[in-house]
Chains A and B, each alone.
Chain A
Amino acid sequence: MDDVKLHHPVPTRQTYLPEPPSTPASPQDYMRFSSTPSQQRGQQQYAQQQSPPQPLQPQHQQAYPVPPTAPYGYPQQPGQPGFGFVAPNMWGVNDATAQIGMQLGQSAVHAGSEYVKQNFGGAIIPLSALKHQFQVSNSYVVNKLRLVLFPWRHKPWYRKTIRSEGGQTDGFLAPRDDINSPDLYIPSMALVTYVLLSAVKLGLKTRFNPRVLGATTSSAIFCVFFEVLLVRLSCYLLNIQGSASVVDLVAYAGYKFVGIIATIFTDFLTTRSWVYWSVFVYVFLANALFLVRSLRYVALPESAAGVAQTYTATQRSRRVYFLFIVAAFQLPLMLLLVYM
């Protein structure tokens, strides 16, 4: 096959020109993506030539009319549809247009998956953030439980940040390294334990039904969801920049279940109601203090040295009110949960 005689537009990319098969061995031989008209017409000739049976091929090649693209119609050897430009390989994608089409398809799929991952993968279930919340250790769990129930004497409440070489903050430390970091292990375990304990309480009163497990779980999850919604709404209304992520807020909302478990335990141990109510009040106060101290760094971000405060005095007072309202709001929620 001699390329010099062919007067066809030079393809813009170097393509490998193999020996074309005499019979179409792959369905791609009949598939043609649209490209320049000359190539297309040539491809149509090629495709049409494949449909008649093999022995008639040389005659058909000569019988076709000669369009301006005829120069490629001239066979150099019998038995070969002598198209000098790109021809498909056996099952391969050596056709330039097919390659372009494939790459277009691949980039389209890639763009689609990137879009989904950016918009929905991070929003619905932020997996990396979730994994970060579950890096806990035994000592962290014990100390955190102690902190939730007795937050009075704890001194530094800010979360430690990861500092890279340039001094930039690169995110917060994992819970196992920082006692002040919220985690999701304790709240989720506390929620399930709360559901089980309330089921046991009902069972001891011979009012147990397996249905109550699902009902209690749903209402507890709804309480958490409702509180997170309110806090986020308040953050938006108060224009708090860089408010805590949803995962952190879910964690903070879940710590109250620890106190509620303690309350239900006292219900098992004693029958006197004043013991029960005093434990409940204490747990409420402890949870309120814990939340106020922890969320303080969310609502009132500390300004670094030399950076102006991002909020005014009135905003600051509003945010302080917001913190106390959040703390006070725990009371009806906890009452609701205890009574279920």
Chain B
Amino acid sequence: MAQHAYGQYYAPPPPPPQAQQNLQFYGGEQAGFYGGSVAPAYGNMGVSGSIQSGGGATGAGPQGWLAAFGTGGFEGEPPLLEELGINFPHIRSKTMTVLNPLRTVDEHIMDDADLYGPLMFYFLLGVFLFISGKPQFGYIYGLALLGSTSVYVLLNLMSPSGIDAHRVASVLGYCLLPMVCVSAVSVTFSLDRAWGYFLAALSVSWCTYAASGIFVAVLRMTEQRFLVAYPISLLYSCFALLSIFSAS
């Protein structure tokens, strides 16, 4: 993900300028982030020698190790969240936009496919289910991975133009929020009764409506909305199953 975040910083982002809201991470200004001097140094992450080279590039010289392990940091170093590409206000605004069922879907709404929001939602779902007595973290992650892969394969087979896997995973994760709310309800009340089924069905349809709307807009498959929505509803129903029925 960090590589993708750097693509945001150092190159113009792919979405066109007529996006209704500026939903790009950290907006459109790239060059002035922390000066151009530090830019090449942080281009590669996780390489052992990069700390030294980073120190050298900024002109800090042999103080590289000290700066890395101390609290001073390098000159012009961005804050950690910004460097990692985690932007909480952006995640919140994107979630609100995605889940509003009355909006018109803009096809560029998910052009910056960040995975931090979805990851947070899956983890939150796992935590709520754990509190309600169903420790199923592994199943949630496995289902998320398998479901994203299957929807990615299916959408690429069904649509004339393709879609990339990051965007699929991002859309599916953001649209999971109603399911997270239902699992929050399941903490206090058991959902294994009639109104629980109804609530779960309602949240599944809300998730599916949001996700299929985005996919149909991105892939321009307007007459096949139901065909796209059905597999996504199956995926969210699996999550609903995990939320409703506790393992015996």
Contacts and interface: CB of A to CB of B under 8 A. Distances in A.
B223 A137 contact: yes
A136 interface: yes
A189 B223 contact: no
B238 A213 contact: yes
A82 B238 CA distance: 75
Contact of B241 (A137, A193, A199): A199
Interface residues of A, number: 23
Contacts of B158: 134-136, 185
B216 to A, nearest CB: 13
Nearest to A192: B234
Q: State the main secondary structure of chain B at its contact with A.
A: helix
A210 B136 contact: yes
Contacts of B157: 130-131, 134
A210 B243 CA distance: 10
A200 interface: yes
Interface stretch (B43-51, B65-73, B107-115, B225-233): B225-233
Nearest to A133: B157
Interface string B55-84: 000000000000000000000000000000
A138 B136 contact: no
Contacts of A131: 157
B242 A189 contact: no
Contact of B227 (A136, A206, A213): A136
Interface in A200-244: 200, 203, 206-210, 213
Nearest to A203: B245
Nearest to A206: B248
Contact of A196 (B139, B192, B227, B238): B238
A196 B231 contact: no
B248 A209 contact: yes
A200 B231 CA distance: 17
A68 B206 CA distance: 86
Contacts of B139: 210
Interface of B: 136, 139, 154, 157-158, 192, 223-224, 226-227, 230-231, 234, 237-238, 241-242, 244-248
Given A185-B227, A206-B192, 8 more contacts: A134-B158, A138-B223, A188-B154, A189-B234, A196-B238, A199-B241, A203-B245, A210-B242
Interface of A: 130-131, 134-138, 141, 185, 188-189, 192-193, 196, 199-200, 203, 206-210, 213
The 3 closest A-B pairs by CB, nearest first: A203-B245, A208-B245, A134-B157
18 contacts: A131-B157, A136-B227, A141-B227, A188-B154, A189-B230, A189-B231, A193-B234, A196-B234, A200-B241, A203-B245, A206-B192, A206-B248, A208-B241, A208-B245, A208-B248, A209-B248, A210-B241, A210-B247
